[in-house]
Structure 1
Amino acid sequence: MKLSVNTLARHRAAGAAFAALALGAGAVGCSKGAGDESPALTPAAAVAKAAKKTDEITSLHYRMKGQVPEEGRVTGEASMSMKPLAMSMKMTAEDQATDGPVEIRLVDKAMYIGGGAKAAKEMDGKSWIKFDMSALGADKELSANQLGGGQADKNPATDSTFLTGSKDLKKVGTETVDGVKTTHYKGTVPLDAFRKSLKSQDKDTREKREKALDQYTKMGIDSLTMDMWIDGQDHTKQFRMRGTADKGPLDLTITFLDYNKPVTVTAPPAKDTVDLAEMMKGAQQG
């Protein structure tokens, strides 16, 4: 093969690292023709009601666009099922055009990262790399967190609940997003203060939200500016988060197309796949 194991893995892992971030952003909603929420709801009550809806999510389909630390500008589309855990994503790092689009699949406790014809030229005709999620972590340079596995097992809607910790939450107005009438809310969330407020939550809720918070504190983000567009069924149709990380700005918008519908993800053909464990074993023997 033309590339070393570590070089190739890092090259494709960049896409998975973005996937981890994208999967950890937003909530979901897609009720066509839904009207405004009850006028009696305060901004805090409306956001809290939408946050509660996240527990009902079993699957989702969404688009993403924005800027993430290190990767720069990104666009993509993904579908994800919570139980059984499965995910399919196609995304492009706009500022790294030479890499081309990347496809990521998570199925049967394995992550597959593919780069099409470009990747095939670098891997003796193979266009996919397989990462066994249960076997990752021995090599610190190829940890589950870096490859996207660190956040893949949580409901991505959890991050939207951060907005319940805003002390300056306000209603911006009524807007139509992707054909759906929504109410726009905005606020800032100091992450340390929000983490402390979780002590009053039940154990399951607290653990899920703390896990979601960890990815942002590790990035060096102290505070998030958040926007949420809620439809008439109390679901979040669109979600935006902005913050300053140690390695660059975060500004990501998620637009949700549907949710709680069947999601089917299949593994790539074995003939087109290189197993990371076998690659590393071969490199060590070499």
Structure 2
Amino acid sequence: MKRTTVWLTTAAALAGLAACTSSGSSDRSGKETPTASAPASLPALRSAEHATERARSARVRSTTVMGTQLSLTADGVLAWRDGLSGALTIHYTGGTAAETMRDLGVTSMEARYLSDAYYARMGDTFAAKTGGKHWLRYAYDDLKTLGGGADLADQMRSTTPGQSVRLLLDSDDVRELGQETVDGQRTTHYAGTVDVQDVTDSELRQRLQAADVTAETVDIWINEKNLLVKKVEKTSTANGRVTQTAHYGDYGVKVAVQKPPAADTTDFKTLLSQSGTNSS
């Protein structure tokens, strides 16, 4: 296998964290009987969108499963005041991409979102193969040069709790499914199927269409403060079903992320170039 494949697989593994959708179409089996009409649900969802955006930051823990390719968990803090920033600890729990990561000695890593790039601390085994540098820098603009890279870069910079609410606002069959206790909080459960052609955010719609997404299902749980407590998004792809579940809390938490030391950081674009030159 070419070393280039390793680095591309690494990028795919990192993308799994931020991905809110993927290519393909989705389905919802066994639809629940709605307890409220779509128009009646919209004011509550708009209140949730505004409250979540005003919070500016939150603690998040999530699980992402991408067919047989990858499964991972993430835990940390995110802020979305001016773009996305934050720090997460990621654990690779299964899939072919996780096996590749394990070959690099990586089963978990620290990830940092900053305005210029996404940084991943890969560990000592990885550093031994990259001139002793532990951090891998993914410049958002450089990611656009990869296949699907524009989508990856945009996902990394735009994934916030409010995006799930905005997607559900564009659903034709959004419905309220009643009261449920989630993470010890009283919440209202909303669900719907979102057709990409109906997404009103033109940038998001174009990104989804570029990834050949046709539809996905979205479930969200909103607490009494109109804040998103949990979301589940599902879609089916050529590589299998993708499911992402995220729990949010501690809204307004302070998020201070520092750029890793330059002397301990290697650039993904440079690494990819070197790998292509040295591949066998």
Verify same fold: TM over 0.5. yes
Are residue 265 (structure 1) and residue 264 (structure 2) matched?
A: no
Q: Distance in 1 between matches of 2:68 and 2:209?
A: 16
Q: Distance in 1 between matches of 2:179 and 2:187?
A: 6
Q: Distance in 2 between matches of 1:248 and 1:23?
A: 12
CA drift at 1:240: 1.0
Q: Distance in 2 between matches of 1:210 and 1:165?
A: 12
Letter in 1 for 2:134: S
Count of aligned positions: 252
Are residue 236 (structure 1) and residue 234 (structure 2) matched?
A: no
- 1:221 alignment partner, one of 213, 220, 231: 213
2:17/2:74 contact within 8 Å kept: no
- Alpha-carbon distance change, 240 to 277 in structure 1, aligned in 2, over 3 angstroms: closer
Aligned to 1:125: 132
Aligned to 2:241: 249
Give me the TM-score of the superposition, normalised by structure 2.
Answer: 0.75
Secondary structure of 1:153's match?
helix
List aligned pairs for 1:66-105, cutoff 5 A: 66-68=64-66, 71-85=69-83, 86-96=85-95, 97-98=98-99, 99=101, 100-105=107-112
Q: Which runs of 5+ in 1 are unaligned?
A: 25-40, 199-208
Aligned to 2:146: 140
Q: Deviations over 1:9-65 (max 9, x none)?
A: 3142123211331599xxxxxxxxxxxxxxxx9333322321233442422221111
- 1:62 alignment partner, one of 49, 60, 63: 60
Give the percent of matched residue pairs that are identical in Structure 1 and Structure 2.
22
Give me the TM-score of the superposition, normalised by structure 1.
Answer: 0.74
Aligned to 2:154: 150
CA drift at 1:116: 1.5
1:171/1:183 contact within 8 Å kept: yes
Secondary structure of 2:178's match?
strand
CA drift at 1:273: 2.0
- Alpha-carbon distance change, 225 to 158 in structure 1, aligned in 2, over 3 angstroms: same
Aligned to 1:32: none
Aligned to 1:49: 47
Q: Which runs of 5+ in 2 are unaligned?
A: 23-38, 102-106
